[in-house]
Amino acid sequence: MSKKTPSKTPGAIRGTQDIFGADAEAFAFVVETFERVRRLYRFRRVEMPVFEKTEVFARSLGETTDVVSKEMYSFDDRGGDSLTLRPEFTAGIARAYLTNGWQQYAPLKVATHGPLFRYERPQKGRYRQFHQIDAEVIGAGEPQADVELLAMADQLLKELGIHDVTLHLNTLGDGESREAWRAALVTYFGAVKDQLSEESQERLEKNPLRILDSKDARDKPFLAGAPKIDAFLSEEASAFFAAVTSGLDAAGVKWVRAESLVRGLDYYRHTAFEFIPDEGSASAAALGSQSTVLGGGRYDGLMESLGGPATPAVGWAAGIERLAMLVGAREAELLEAVVLVEHDDGIAEANRVLAKLRAGGVISEIVASGSVKKRYDKAVKQSPQHILRVNETGYYAISGEGSTDRIVTALNQTSSPRA
């Protein structure tokens, strides 16, 4: 080991994380549970590129939004094309659906997970490179798709052991409903513009729906009296939402109506939802100000923005890091056996024993370095179920509690694993 590094070690990129130990175990547990649950619902696995033409995201999200102008990781490649590290899964999946002719599989249920990138200031539960699990149903316009998708989300959270979050559900109606509501909100808030916070005055121009979830005390008095979407829903939109909620009730998914839950982007229609920790719960405390654990909605307008035919779709995504925080620390894999080399001449025999154990599926470690006298303590500290001792004459003893059947079976294998 050199005393001094010749030059300074480069640091990690802001907002990236090196995950290890209990956190990494929790991360893996989330992903494994997701993979298991999505199979129960017959969602097909898809693997997607980590980057796309910037256009894919810019067109689907809307060129003018803050999201596109400030918060994407974009760069030019050598050919001069503008590329972007994916900030979400949905747009890329939609692009793949159109360019690969996946229409033939419609309605298509797909699931994936992996890293995403957003150029933001990191804070608790928010990173520049973060990871999500994602599920989408494409080409299904009926409320049953929403119900199934939400039932899967609900089951996933339960199987992760997260019980203090609740589904907050809203409808944005169809295109006309949404526009009418938006106009009514602009009129309502416009009348009291002077009394709103500076931020909300700006939102009035850019994104009036967002005023509804303002945290500013100056805005709060006006929120309760704001026009409700329900007054603007078309008959079809009402019927759609009713079908979703009754389906959820039948499936046993608990939900609450969240009239001010909105989406920033225009392509969302009908169902919008977020799973949010219950107030005062352990999960709420664990997440800080980043409260949404899983969110999504119906995006019937997206495919057209990418030049495809009108295609109804609904999906959700959830941050793996946030879920991992709620899952809590997980133990590493149980250690079944440690091979303890009590004399250096026993190393060859120890390696033979170790190979047999692992070939037999026994989770094993070896302790063969450092002071001979302290190797036992070193082995014990790893909390193995059993310790196999090897001296200069070979393997001679096993200690520990519980059944040794698996170990004995592995050791009695006649053929070497590589034969």
Partner RNA sequence: GCGAUCAUAGCUCAGCUGGUUAGAGCGCCGGUUUGUGGUACCGGAGGUCACGGGUUCGAACCCCGUUGGUCGCCCCA
Binding string to RNA for residues 39 to 78, with x set by CB under 7 A, is what?
A: ------------------x---x---xxxx--xx------
Among the listed residues 105, 112, 100, the one whose alpha carbon sits nearest the alpha carbon of residue 50: 112
Distance CA 354, CA 375 (A): 16
214 lies in the site for RNA, by CB under 7 A: yes
CB of 414 to RNA, least distance (A): 28
15-44: which residues touch RNA (CB under 7 A)? 15
Number of shown-chain residues binding RNA (CB under 7 A): 54
11 binds RNA per the rule CB under 7 A: yes
Q: Is 269 in the site for RNA (CB under 7 A)?
A: no
Show the beta-strand stretches assigned E in 101-143.
Answer: 108-117, 129-138
The verdict on 159 binding RNA (CB under 7 A) reads no
Q: Give the Cα separation of 280 and 173 in Å (integer).
A: 31
Of residues 321 through 380, those in contact with RNA by CB under 7 A are 369-371, 373-374, 376-378, 380
Distance in Å, CB of 325 to RNA, minimum: 9
Cβ distance to RNA smaller for residue 200 or 243:
200
Q: Which stretch binds RNA (CB under 7 A): 175-183, 200-208, 239-247, 353-361?
A: 200-208
Burial of 90 (0-12, 13-18, 19+ CB in 10 A): buried
How far is it, in rounded angstroms, from Cα 77 to Cα 67? 21
d(CA 104, CA 100): 10
User: Amino acid identity of 61?
Assistant: L
Helical ranges in 235-329 per DSSP H: 235-251, 282-287, 302-305, 320-327
Q: Contact between 217 and RNA (CB under 7 A)?
A: no
Q: Counting contacts by CB under 7 A, is residue 207 touching RNA?
A: yes
The neighbour count for residue 214, using CB atoms within 10 Å, is: 18
- Of 348, 341, 358, 356, the C-alpha closest to 396 is 341
Check binding of 383 to RNA (CB under 7 A): yes
125 near RNA, judged by CB under 7 A: yes
Q: Is 123 helix (H, G, I), strand (E, B) or coil?
A: strand
Among 30, 37, 90, 178, binds RNA (CB under 7 A): 90
Asked if 416 and 355 touch (Cβ cutoff 8 Å), the reply is yes
Q: Which residues bind RNA (CB under 7 A)?
A: 3, 11-12, 14-15, 57, 61, 65-68, 71-72, 87-88, 90, 118, 120-126, 199, 202-203, 207, 210, 214-216, 263-265, 288-290, 295, 369-371, 373-374, 376-378, 380-381, 383, 387, 389, 397, 399
